[in-house]
Structure 1
Amino acid sequence: MGNKQSTGKKGGSKHKINKNDNDQPSESLQNNLVALDKHRGDEYNISVEDLGAGKETKIKKAHLKKYCKTAKNSGDVAIKLFDGNTAHSNDFQTEAAILSKCDHPNIVKLFEITTVDSRMSLVLELCDGGSVLDRLPYTEDEASKIVRQVASAISYMHGKNIVHRDIECSNILYSTSHEKSEVKLVDFGSATELETIPNHPGAFKFLKEKTGSLSVMAPEVLRGKYGPKVDVWSVGIVAHTLLNNGKAPFKGKTKQELEPKILQGYISYNDWEHSELAKDFCQNTCMVNVAHRLAASTVLFHSWIASERKSTFKVLPVELVTSFSFYRTALPLKRIALNALARKIKSSKYRETFEHINKSHTGLITNEEFMEAFKHSGNSKSELDDLYDSLDINVNGGITYTEFIAATLETGGELEDDQLHEAFNLISSNGRYITQKDVEDIVSESLKDRDNMTVVQDKVERQMSRFTKKHKKQKIRYLDFTKMFEHGFKDLRSIDTLVETSLNAEQFKRLNAEEQSAHLMAINE
């Protein structure tokens, strides 16, 4: 596939976009922002040339016609167009459902689900830095860095019971042409969600479909009975390939030649020119015996890629602490706007900071990890608790990558006007003003499908529609919206009240008696 964005192969089970099959908290703010953009398919200028093509899909570069180019984003996207055959709608829904659940710095972002020229389409982040094969050869340290990023993405996906099933070098793209660009895992056309077994944590039904690229296919896929560790095998193949200047460990001109070699799983290291650590990594990720193969959650702790994580990071940058302080005291609508903007940012210099804080490599910063990172920030324990709750806008018990980046957007001072216009348009349903309904559409889903629902939260959910109805004539126009981003501004109380009612049990518990009383009065109006 070379430097193609994605090709889309048949695979996976049937899913609806917002379904939460595994009883896990979904990043619903992200899901809602994605789903709300269905009407913009005709607002793109689409290139004639294909970035990539599959049997039922084409990938094209596009640009939003009304988009204002910013310093952080060119406005270019990749659009994956599915053919009009309804037989392939399941593939479209599966890929859309999976990508809308992913929020990780090394996974391509899904921006919108739309229709272009009567074809179902996914609007994706454009990764225009080429594939990892385009920058061969690599030093061992460079290869280790790439593999660590891919392994991080896989560990995150497996934590959500998602299996990619086609991790090959051509599906690992550089985000930009910059020499220090991060890599992104793309092409989720073969991805699927594991069907878990109730009351048996960690247990799942085996997958049977033979899908993905043969060159990185694990032996058990050929045998027709496999689980998530097929992705770990693929990572080992990718590591071996990058270390050996693009030469894959298994060679064969035909399927008949290649499959027996994969099933045998023998990889020769007679001419190995790299470290023993690198060799050990390849051997332990490419074990034919699945039980002996490393799990995705432990791959990141292998010394070959874990050593690369040594960082000069010791204390949080001053500008980051300042930006987070502004975020903590910001109105909820402003925090939603910053999250909407963060989703559109192609790359952030604070990606490594997020990864350093998230020592568990889950893609979700826990309260313990957050408190450890910010213990020397100059904030009190209660201020840090408040900041953590403010960051967790999805109310899912952790801080996602987008939530973290949202709080960094003001490190350079107040946002520019073009950024504010973009944020406003991402929330407003008509582009002229923001209503209570616009806000509710984005945040209301965060109150559903939570294991830790309390009586208070149930009340909030029941009262949300009444609250919206009460304020249905309220409109926040662009000039009022921009005032929220002036540092120190605190107004627009009714919008503030609406969103602040979505407190979880821990947030409610930390309110003092007077605040609790006011909160309960607000949601019972």
Structure 2
Amino acid sequence: MGHCCSKDAVVDSVVKDDNNAGSTVPNRPRSPRPSAVVANGTNGRSSSNTPTHSFTGSPWQSTYPAGVPPTPSPARTPRRMFKWPFPPPSPAKPIMSAILTRQGKGKGKGNTTPTGTGTGTIPEDEGGDGERALDKSFGYQRNFGSKYELGKEVGRGHFGHTCWAKGKKGALKNQPVAVKIISKAKMTTAISIEDVRREVKLLKGLCGHQHMVQFHDAFEDDQNVYIVMELCEGGELLDRILSRGGRYTENDAKSIIVQILSVASFCHLQGVVHRDLKPENFLFSTKNEDSPLKVIDFGLSDFARPDQRLNDIVGSAYYVAPEVLHRSYNVEADIWSIGVITYILLCGSRPFFARTESGIFRSVLRADPNLNDSPWPSISPEAKDFVKRLLNKDHRKRMTASQALTHPWLLDENRAVPLDILIYKLVKSYLRASPLKRAALKALSKALTEDELVYLRAQFDLLEPKDGCVSLDNFRTALVKNSTAAMKESRVLDILDTMKPLSYTRLTFEEFCAAAISPHQLEALEGWETIASTAFEYFELEGNRVISVDALAQEMNVGPSAHSILKDWIRGTDGKLNFLGYAKLLHGLTIRSSNTRHH
């Protein structure tokens, strides 16, 4: 349900920093974990030991010993929040503060701060006038009991629990389902209420994809909200990983990653960021070895327009993307999480590890994943390149989910490639670009490798070109064809309004390639220098021209204070761009000082 750290955040114990002398962790009895069925409570985990905030990652050991039993899983730790001996470094401090804010805790009696010693929580009957004024009516049906018969509990979270149930009548008569029961008493803030409302919207709007947990209905009464969903009885992906001793073969890992990328690309096209992709949030439909995988737990998910940047710090520590910690992200954050999952599947350990949350965050922000030690030397170069292109700290350089499905490691000519919202964003920018920038991109497109062209051809074909060309109508038809209620909610279709210049022109495949390539993504390729050099040769023949420093500053949208930098990009012999200037023209110039911006 949560939107800004965890929906089930609560402080019930204090753990001292691992490096402090005499630090201790309270011992808690661990009850056997029931089989994962579907999202429970509000955190999507079917476990009796549910972490209290979204930054409690899965603390399994860095390698998996053979024969580790899947139950009970070590994926979860007792509910806890760290007691910091000193104010925690960024980004830990704002994260922990956000957790408390999320709980609706102010500065009054009984509150706990990241550096405080209190362990109290706000009791349900002490919410004050503000809580009593909250409208907890969702407008859902109130006849749950007449339609479903509840069975045993299969999972529990802080805000609620999940139960097995059976339909009494209608299309689901005698059919088993999973019911997530969310307690209204735990909804102590307007944000928590909106989180539940949004989760139902997301599940309903995205319903239909083969790797989405299927939503059936939502009900409420005075005490609870009931979300009826598909019953998944095959357990979590995490348990399968552990049952295999921690590692998948490359072929088996491919099968898992293809399914994850397929549903991620579907969500991203609809303008939905999941924000908590991890092995615990993927369930198998059945216990069969070849059972399809289903993504669950949209409690932290949100709608996002293509050009929007979200700033809520959410997710799970081991899987959170760097830009999330910097509070500026979009769907690329999910791709990072998929990269972490891929890394774990292939080698059985996590790419970023530390003993505390703040240590994990520092590792995510600064460290590079280890692709040198065992077993990486025995893993194919294609697989290693795949992981590198997902775990790039610059979100602009990461592959999208659709692009990843055309990567040489996963490419299957018999598998359809999903439409990618990225091409809409890139074509929009191309249409607004200057003639010089367009010439630079056209030259770059002529130097593309065949691997990159596979993705572009697939996207061009999805637009259903007429006479070998595409126009705005093609882009509109393709997007509407894939539209769901979620896409309307996230206003993805608004991007078509910014592409109106395409109403008066048509793009051949060659110009589409120029418009739909990302120099930032190409720069992440090992052969980027060769591609750029070849592209510059084409640019010299067809696009390079004499340009002044003033004109180049206007082209790059910077002010006079950048002239000293720009003059090094122009050849003194003929006044045209040199190779450095060409590369910078492709990427754009970032001047951090605000007074260098051209207004």
Cα drift, residue 212 of structure 1? 1.4
1:60 is paired with a residue whose SS is: strand
Q: Name the CA shift for 1:361/1:130 in 2 (closer, same or farther; >3 Å).
A: farther
- Identity, in percent, stands at 28
Kindly state the Cα deviation for residue 109 of structure 1 after the two structures are TM-superposed.
1.1
SS in 1 for 2:151: strand
Q: How does 1:163-182 map to 2 (within 5 A)?
A: 163-182=273-292
Counterpart of 1:203 in structure 2 is: 307
Equivalent residues of 2:140, 2:219 under 8 A apart? no
Q: After superposition, give the CA deviation of every residue in 1:149-182 in whole Å (9 maximum; x if it has no partner).
A: 1111111111111000000001011111122211
2:356 to 250, 254, 279: 254
User: In the alignment, what sits opposite 1:332?
Assistant: none
Q: Is residue 36–residue 154 contact of structure 2 (8 Å, CA) maintained in 1? A: no
1:398 aligns with 2:481: yes
The answer on whether the counterparts of 1:5 and 1:78 sit within 8 Å (CA) in structure 2 is yes
2:400 maps to a residue whose letter is A
What amino acid sits opposite 2:351 in the alignment?
P
Contact 2:200 2:227 in 1 (8 A): yes
Paired position in structure 2 for 1:101: 205
Change (3 A) 1:68 1:110: closer
- Is the aligned partner of 1:215 residue 2:298? no
Tell me, what secondary structure is at the counterpart of 2:213? coil
Q: Residue type matched to 2:318 in 1?
A: S
The whole-number CA distance in structure 2 between the counterparts of 1:215 and 1:5 is 22
The aligned residue for residue 195 of structure 2 is 91
> Equivalent residue for 2:39?
6
| Aligned mates of 1:93, 1:400 — CA distance in 2 | 21
Rounded Cα–Cα distance in structure 1 between residues aligned with 2:289 and 2:264: 23
One-letter amino acid of the counterpart of residue 283, structure 1: K
Asked whether the equivalents of residues 114 and 121 of structure 1 are also in contact (C-alpha less than 8 Å), the reply is yes
- Which letter maps to 1:288? K
**Residue-by-residue CA offset, 1:284-312 (whole Å, 9 max, x unaligned):** 001001111112332221122223x6479
1:285 corresponds to which residue?
Answer: 390
Aligned to 2:88: none
The 3 A distance-change label for structure 1 pair 134 and 450 is: closer
Equivalence for 2:259: 149
| Deviations, residues 503-524 of structure 1 (Å, cap 9, x unaligned) | xxxxxxxxxxxxxxxxxxxxxx
Give ranges in structure 2 of 5+ residues lacking alignment: 1-32, 44-52, 55-138, 417-456, 466-477, 495-599
Q: Secondary structure at the match of 2:178?
A: strand
The one-letter amino acid paired with 1:296 is A
Deviation at 1:128, TM superposition (A): 1.1
* Alignment-derived partner of residue 235 in structure 2: 130
Q: Which amino acid aligns with 2:402?
A: S
Which among 61, 65, 75 is matched to residue 168 of structure 2? 65
- Cross-structure match for 1:48: 152
DSSP 3-state at the match of 1:294: coil
Determine the structure 2 residue equivalent to 1:234: 337
CA drift at 1:117? 7.1
Partner secondary structure for residue 181 of structure 1: coil
> What one-letter code is carried by the residue in structure 1 that aligns with 2:383?
A
SS in 1 for 2:254: helix
Q: 1:361 & 1:47 partners in 2: Cα distance?
A: 47
Relative to 1, partners in 2 of residues 1:173 and 1:68: Cα closer, same or farther, differing over 3 Å? same
Counterpart of 2:184, as a letter, is: G
CA distance in 2, matches of 1:37, 1:159: 30
1:76 is aligned, of 173, 176, 179, to 176
1:254 CA displacement: 1.6
- Deviation of 1:265 (Å): 3.9
Larger radius of gyration: 2
Post-superposition shift, 1:36? 8.6
After superposition, the C-alpha distances for 1:123-161 in whole angstroms (9 at most, x for unaligned) are 111111111122233221111111111111111111111
- 1:366 and 1:220, CA in 2 relative to 1: closer, same or farther beyond 3 A? closer
Distance 1:277 1:215 in 2: 24
| Cα pair 1:366 1:397 within 8 Å, conserved | no
Contact 2:166 2:176 in 1 (8 A): yes
Aligned length: 298
Spell out, residue by residue over 1:410-450, the C-alpha distance to the aligned partner (whole angstroms, 9 max, x if none).
xxxxxxxxxxxxxxxxxxxxxxxxxxxxxxxxxxx9xxx99
Classify the secondary structure of the residue corresponding to 1:77.
Answer: strand
Q: Is the 8 A contact 1:144 1:305 kept in 2?
A: yes
Query: 1:82 is paired with a residue of what secondary structure?
Result: strand
TM-superposed CA distance for 1:48, in Å, is: 3.1
- Tell me the CA shift for residue 104 of structure 1: 0.9
Are 2:288 and 1:186 equivalent residues in the alignment? no
Q: Is the 8 A contact 1:5 1:126 kept in 2?
A: yes
Q: Which residue type is aligned with residue 266 of structure 1?
A: D
Separation of aligned partners in 2, 1:210 and 1:115: 29
CA distance in 1, matches of 2:140, 2:463: 30
Equivalent in the alignment of 2:269:
159
Quick one: structure 1 residues 119 and 69, their matched pair in 2 at CA, closer, same or farther if it must change by over 3 Å?
closer
Does the C-alpha gap of structure 1 residues 259 and 400 become closer, same or farther in structure 2, counting only changes over 3 Å?
Answer: closer
* CA shift for structure 1 position 280: 0.9
Alignment gaps of 5+ in structure 1? 12-34, 197-201, 313-358, 370-394, 402-444, 452-525
CA 1:65–1:207: 2 relative to 1, 3 Å: same
Aligned-residue offset at 1:361: 9.1
After superposition, the Cα gap between the structure-2 partners of 1:182 and 1:361, relative to the gap in structure 1 and judged at 3 Å, is farther
Tell me: CA distance 1:249–1:65, structure 2 relative to 1, closer, same or farther (3 Å): same
Give runs of aligned pairs for residues 329-340 of structure 1, distance below 5 A.
none
Residue-by-residue CA offset, 1:227-283 (whole Å, 9 max, x unaligned): 1100000001111111123x2222222213211111114101112032111111111
Q: Deviations 1:426-476 (Å, cap 9, x if unpaired)?
A: xxxxxxxxxxxxxxxxxxx9xxx999xxxxxxxxxxxxxxxxxxxxxxxxx
**What does residue 567 of structure 2 align with?**
none
From 143, 148, 155, the counterpart of 1:39: 143
Map Cα deviations across residues 487-515 of structure 1 (whole Å, 9 max, x no partner): xxxxxxxxxxxxxxxxxxxxxxxxxxxxx
For the 8 Å contact 1:114–1:120, the answer to whether it is kept is: yes
CA-to-aligned-CA distance 1:82-133 (integer Å, 9 cap, x gap): 1113533211111011111112111111110112673112111111111112
What is the alpha-carbon distance in structure 2 between the residues aligned to residue 361 and residue 126 of structure 1? 35
The alignment yields a C-alpha RMSD, in angstroms, of 3.6
In structure 2, what is the Cα distance between the partners aligned to 1:261 and 1:450?
37
Q: Does residue 334 of structure 2 align to residue 301 of structure 1?
A: no
State whether residues 6 and 187 of structure 1, in contact with CA within 8 Å, keep that contact through their aligned partners in structure 2.
yes
3-state DSSP class of the match of 1:305?
Answer: coil
Q: Which amino acid aligns with 2:153?
A: E
More divergent stretch after superposition (175-184 vs 295-304): 295-304
Q: What is the CA–CA distance in structure 2 between the aligned matches of 1:191 and 1:97, rounded to whole Å?
A: 11
Distance (whole Å) between structure 2 residues aligned to residue 366 and residue 237 of structure 1? 30
